[in-house]
Structure 1
Amino acid sequence: MACFFRRTIAAKLGRTLQQSEDAFIPALSAVPVFKKQQTADFKLSISTLRIRGILPSSGDIQLQTEGLASRLEQDSVVEDISAGRGMINFKVNRKLLVQKMLEPFGKDEDEKFALNSELFNTLKRGTTLVEYRYVSVCISSFSTCNVFTCGLPSVRMNEFLCCSSPNIAKKFHAGHLRSTIIGNFIANLKQCLGYDVIRMNYLGDWGMQFGLLGAGFSKFGCQEKLKQNPLQHLFEVYVQVNKEAEHNEDMMQAARDFFRQLEQHESEAVSLWQQFREITVDEYQHVYKRLGVHFDIYSGESFHHHQAQEVVQQLHSRGLLKTSEKGTGVVDLSSTGDMSSVCTVLRSDGTTLYITRDLAAAIDRKEKYHFDEMIYVTDKSQANHFHQLFHILLAMGHSWADRCEHVPFGLVLGMNTRRGEVVFLEDVLDEARARMLHNMNQSKTTKEMDNPEDTAEKVGISALIVQDFRGALQSDYKFDWDRMLQAQGDTGVFLQYTHARLRSLIRRNEGVEAVIFDPSLLLEQTSITILQHLLRYDEVLYQSAQDLQPKHLVNFLLKLCHLIASAHRELPVKGSSQDVAQARLRLFSGACSVLANGMRILGITPVDKM
């Protein structure tokens, strides 16, 4: 596979320049391929060698490139070496390329393909805590709002760490989809690369938003409606009490009183909070199951409200806690110490704030789980919250805060269903399934299957994920039902269709594929191009691990599917001799395995029929 060739070329360079072969690994990369275009397999960046001090940084770079290329000799592995513009190109022996790249797929090592690459040796593997949290976004009107991050009406902003975790007593909003699938991708990626991953769902189950709900339920709530449709009724109450609180100071005071009762553990308030929390968790578990998302731990703000007071004491003892003119507790974040930039950590009535509980949660996580890194994923408007969080943690003496990371994402524009603009996640999932089922029923190529609705659900979710992951996470994008569900474009449907087609080909030829195959029967350019593309798989995973962006893997898999489509036409299995059929099946099986593994990292469940 790729690591064999990369290591061989690096060794050749090491001998020539009298350096360790490890020094050349980062400078070598597989050459991207284009349909029916013959290219080299690997390229060496001379600029990278100059930057790393392996070659002199002065002088003409092209003369340096040509000079080094002329000193490198061909051998049984590398059959051609040429100088390009600041690059040296390496073409490996074609028969050896086929043999080495397809070798793992005959040894039941499909899932390990490319994961033993030397590129991953530089990764600091350890324990990664992926904390899933929800952001509550203030929106003034449901009837006109057509931009979603993760929210429902709220009196303040909540933050969300690495995935979905909504506030209790609120239905899963459509915006939860983006944060949920991003967090799931990051956890999957880290896990496949050998990290110990802890998936934590961190519920927004504390704070003034619950004070509002508790006060609102006493005025607008109905136990009978709560029994009939629990979360829907709580949602209606929450919307109603927010509208009331906009112009009624008494209602806001009632909310503050209820939250204070909750923080003081008064039984009536706690009992209502527990009831609402259980209702909410039951609802969320159902939605998570549909998305194929699981958690190791369920936690929440409520777990840390006592510890938040301890954080306040620690801030005070370190001299970091100041009192503002309004009587609130603040931390001075200004570089000059003139209070020009402060973060409020305590209300004037002594109750804690979201960031106070966040500080307590981060400290508690480190003590309990000894994580090496913690990843927060929220919409990009939350950058300031995490800047303040990390700043305060460092000021408190927690150097590990440098290993906490915020991954921002943009907004989803125009995510509507046919039922209207107030979108809940289950409505989106239902509509994706219904539209996909309709498309499958209309297609002449749809296969008979035991559970077409389940297939439609998986393919529909694939379409949602791929549309979301095509671009940079921090970019906003416009939601488009029709484009998302196309079978021929660069969509999740296309990924699933390609996988199902490959699985069908393998099923139809059971007994043909053999452990041993003849590599010389796969030397057509169509075969070579697929294998050259697979050379890049470890680089794509490595790049994804560096910036935590799923677009690299999505685009790699979509390109693979296009190459497979060409191979289907040009490399028929049916009607070929047994030796040729065996070789081509090995190629298609290998491509199918990589496609399926990549889809699973993205959070997509591959289907075998559609």
Structure 2
Amino acid sequence: MATLTVSELETSLEKLDLNVPIPHFASADVLNKPLDLVRSYLADILSSLVEVDRTAAYNSISVSNDPLHGDFTVVLPKLCPGAKAGDLAKDLIKKFPQGSLFGLPWEDGVHLRICVTPQTVPRVLVPYINDRKGEYGSDLALGLRDPSLPTGGRQKLVVEFSSPNIASEFQGKHLRSTIIGSFVSSLHENMGWDVTRLNYFGDWGKDMALLGVGWEKFGSEEAFQEDPTTHLLEVYHKIQELFLPEQVASKKARDEAKKKAQDEVEGTAEIESKGVFAERNEFFKRMENGDENALALYKRIRDVNTDNYAKLYARMGITFDEYSGESKVSQETMVEIEQLLKDKGICEESGGAWIIKLGARSGTAVIRDRSGSSTYLLRYLAAVLERSRKFEFDKMIFVAADRNGHFSKMFKIFDALDMTELRGKLQHVQFGDVSHMSDKLGHGHQPHEILNQCEKAMMDVLKADGIRAGLVGNSEDTAKVLGISGLLTQELSTKKTGDHAFDIDGMTSFKPGTGPDLQYWYARLCSILKAHPITEDLLHEEYGSLDDEEQTSLLLVLGQYPDITHAAFKSLESTPITAYLANVIEHLSDILDEHNAAEAGITPAQAALYEATRTVLENGMKLLGLIPIALQQQDRADTPVAE
């Protein structure tokens, strides 16, 4: 939690000639959000000048995004509904007191614009940020079961993400799920939640059975020993090519059955009773019946791919607390779910299969096919029930693309089963599954090729940019870190509903807003602070070197960081964070002369400002999953060499 208490904060504010105690407003969080502190003082002034509700006064104030519009904006119709904005503005300007925190406001239509005084802002914000360090932007109370009882324990969250089908290739949607899911996990940890990261592999079912059929037709032990993951992918593509015409025919039959209002399952029965369809279904039946050969092949495939994916995630700096999968779901729980569905009359038999009719919009869900095998949906329902018992979570978030409405079907089924408490804890984070990754890498690519391409492109950029390479380094290790930073930042700079661009040239450049650019500016601040270490407890007069407009503007942007993290937490969007960090760097670059490597003449107060900026950049980068390269280099430098 924050180091300073309210009383300690008030003691420091009193030295700045600010009235204490701090004006109280229910929605203000002065210990975590410094701009709430400023809003509170401004709202207190407004409510003392005109007869308005104090809450309305506080809610009428917002931070200005344009320096020409001042630092804070008061929306006059919100402040005093029904009053004439012009008359109200003139009255407030006339009565507004001269003080240490605000200059005189000015009228701008229905707005009142106000600037904070450069003399006071740094004396409030710099110590505030530097006191909190790595906790600045966090709000651990949000994760408490009872915010009024800090010892009452934290809320538990399970986040399921990545979850590739290990029988087929790692697609753009899996990469997006991996990156977004890791961000959602970190965001909740930043707000005090107890988070479990779960990877639910598609390691069972018809796709795995199809690969099994493919292995029996095309598998080569010699090729497997040489490069197992590549050979398995080749086998899958070969059997998929044979299977495709049958899939097309089955879909056509299903669509025709829909048009005629006939049973979709019965409409595909004849097609799916022969050819690769029948071979696949038979192999899966062997798996579920415990056939030794089928299970031995399945285990080899799962072990090889699990190890390969674990190495991929490690390269990305992404961790999981548990690797699970369809194969780990117990038969007993599936039978339990199935029996509940039958007891409540929710599912019915159709053409030998067991189905659930979910209505015109959601269509039909199959829980057992005509061969008696479990479906992905049945296994998933059972998996969620098992997780609720194992983890006793307060919330579970699924980060996955879902073009077929899988999660809406699952939620409807839990509602129909009267499992409303469990259903209320489940949340699906959807994102666009349109990806251009395969266009750039080609179909049939291996997961590690994604990172290899990013690292290679980054190495080329470092060789061509001697200035930046001179600061961040130009080794292969540097290229690896910056390449991953570029990949993560490009993805997290895109709204969840946007397309997955996968622009390698763009992500590995030092253009503003990219991962490498964030790393460069962070490294530059570390270089400055190494030459100019910060001084604790600056004297009041030492802050005078921060009184100019550009430094005040940077400080006000730094003060917004907790508001940005709270907004991201509410929306589970990463774009507010990436856009904000780019804004911080834009303000920082206005202050620093990019070509002045010496950074001479820095005062102790300016060093403290740069330390606050470094803190905000570091906290934001870590939230995005970026490990600042300057920290890694420092850690290596500080590690004693074994003799």
The alignment's TM-score, normalised by the length of structure 1, stands at 0.83
The one-letter code sitting in structure 1 at the alignment partner of 2:225 is K
1:608 is paired with a residue of what secondary structure? Answer: helix
Distance 1:449 1:3, change over 3 A: closer
Deviation at 1:602, TM superposition (A): 0.9
2:486 is equivalent to residue 457 of structure 1: no
Distance 1:247 1:81, change over 3 A: closer
Distance 1:189 1:228, change over 3 A: same
In the other structure, the counterpart of 1:318 is: 344
CA contact (8 A) 2:126 2:612 kept: yes
Which of 335, 343, 351 pairs up with 1:309? 335
2:399 is equivalent to residue 377 of structure 1: yes
After TM superposition, the structure 1 = structure 2 runs for residues 232-271 of structure 1, keeping only pairs within 5 Å, are: 232-247=230-245, 249-271=274-296
The one-letter code sitting in structure 2 at the alignment partner of 1:494 is D
Give the distance between the partners of 1:476 and 1:464, measured in 2 at CA.
14
CA contact (8 A) 2:172 2:433 kept: no
Distance 1:303 1:200, change over 3 A: same
Which of 154, 157, 177 pairs up with 1:128? 157
In the other structure, the counterpart of 1:365 is: 387
Deviation at 1:18, TM superposition (A): 8.1
Give the distance between the partners of 1:509 and 1:278, measured in 2 at CA.
52
After TM superposition, the structure 1 = structure 2 runs for residues 29-178 of structure 1, keeping only pairs within 5 Å, are: 29-33=62-66, 37-45=67-75, 56=81, 73=97, 75-107=99-131, 109-116=132-139, 126-132=155-161, 164-178=162-176
Distance 1:28 1:186, change over 3 A: farther
In the other structure, the counterpart of 1:407 is: 429
CA contact (8 A) 1:574 1:581 kept: no
2:445 is paired with a residue of what secondary structure? Answer: coil
The one-letter code sitting in structure 1 at the alignment partner of 2:416 is A
1:381 is paired with a residue of what secondary structure? Answer: coil
CA contact (8 A) 1:29 1:42 kept: yes
Give the distance between the partners of 1:298 and 1:509, measured in 2 at CA.
46
CA contact (8 A) 2:200 2:326 kept: yes
Deviations 1:279-332 (A, max 9, x none): 1111011000000000111211112251222211111111211223x3322223
2:408 is equivalent to residue 387 of structure 1: yes
1:102 is paired with a residue of what secondary structure? Answer: helix
2:630 is paired with a residue of what secondary structure? Answer: coil
Give the distance between the partners of 2:590 and 2:358, measured in 1 at CA.
58
Unaligned runs of 5+ residues in structure 2 are 1-33, 148-153, 247-273, 634-643
1:200 is paired with a residue of what secondary structure? Answer: strand
Give the distance between the partners of 1:47 and 1:508, measured in 2 at CA.
51
Which of 298, 303, 307 pairs up with 1:278? 303
The one-letter code sitting in structure 1 at the alignment partner of 2:122 is V
Distance 1:293 1:25, change over 3 A: farther
2:202 is equivalent to residue 204 of structure 1: yes
The one-letter code sitting in structure 2 at the alignment partner of 1:502 is L
CA contact (8 A) 1:114 1:538 kept: yes
Distance 1:379 1:226, change over 3 A: same
Deviation at 1:540, TM superposition (A): 1.2
In the other structure, the counterpart of 2:418 is: 397
Which of 412, 427, 432 pairs up with 2:454? 432
Distance 1:197 1:121, change over 3 A: closer
Q: Higher helix proportion, which one?
A: 2
The one-letter code sitting in structure 2 at the alignment partner of 1:590 is A
Give the distance between the partners of 1:258 and 1:308, measured in 2 at CA.
20
CA contact (8 A) 1:14 1:21 kept: yes
CA contact (8 A) 2:39 2:61 kept: yes
In the other structure, the counterpart of 1:473 is: 496
In the other structure, the counterpart of 2:266 is: none
Distance 1:97 1:437, change over 3 A: same
1:352 is paired with a residue of what secondary structure? Answer: coil
Give the distance between the partners of 1:48 and 1:277, measured in 2 at CA.
60
CA contact (8 A) 1:7 1:21 kept: no
In the other structure, the counterpart of 2:38 is: 5
Give the distance between the partners of 2:337 and 2:546, measured in 1 at CA.
65
Deviation at 1:428, TM superposition (A): 1.9
Deviations 1:400-420 (A, max 9, x none): 323322222224543368874
Which of 490, 499, 508 pairs up with 2:531? 508
Deviation at 1:269, TM superposition (A): 2.2
CA contact (8 A) 1:530 1:564 kept: yes
* Structure showing greater Rg: 2
Deviation at 1:182, TM superposition (A): 0.6
Unaligned runs of 5+ residues in structure 1 are 50-54, 133-163
Deviation at 1:231, TM superposition (A): 1.2
CA contact (8 A) 1:205 1:301 kept: yes
In the other structure, the counterpart of 2:466 is: 444
The one-letter code sitting in structure 2 at the alignment partner of 1:459 is L
Which of 588, 607, 611 pairs up with 1:564? 588
In the other structure, the counterpart of 2:616 is: 594
Give the distance between the partners of 1:93 and 1:347, measured in 2 at CA.
71
Deviation at 1:477, TM superposition (A): 4.5
The one-letter code sitting in structure 2 at the alignment partner of 1:195 is W
2:403 is paired with a residue of what secondary structure? Answer: helix
Give the distance between the partners of 1:167 and 1:494, measured in 2 at CA.
34
Deviation at 1:117, TM superposition (A): 9.9
In the other structure, the counterpart of 2:213 is: 215
Distance 1:106 1:593, change over 3 A: closer
The alignment's TM-score, normalised by the length of structure 2, stands at 0.79
Deviation at 1:557, TM superposition (A): 0.5
The one-letter code sitting in structure 2 at the alignment partner of 1:540 is I
Identical counterparts, % of pairs = 27
Give the distance between the partners of 1:319 and 1:62, measured in 2 at CA.
66
Report the more deviating stretch, 59-68 or 214-223.
59-68
CA contact (8 A) 2:471 2:520 kept: no
Which structure would you say has the larger RCO, counting Cα contacts within 8 Å and 6 or more residues apart? 1
Deviations 1:434-458 (A, max 9, x none): 1111111122212277881121111
Report the more deviating stretch, 326-335 or 213-222.
326-335
Give the distance between the partners of 2:303 and 2:140, measured in 1 at CA.
45
How many residue pairs end up in the alignment? 561
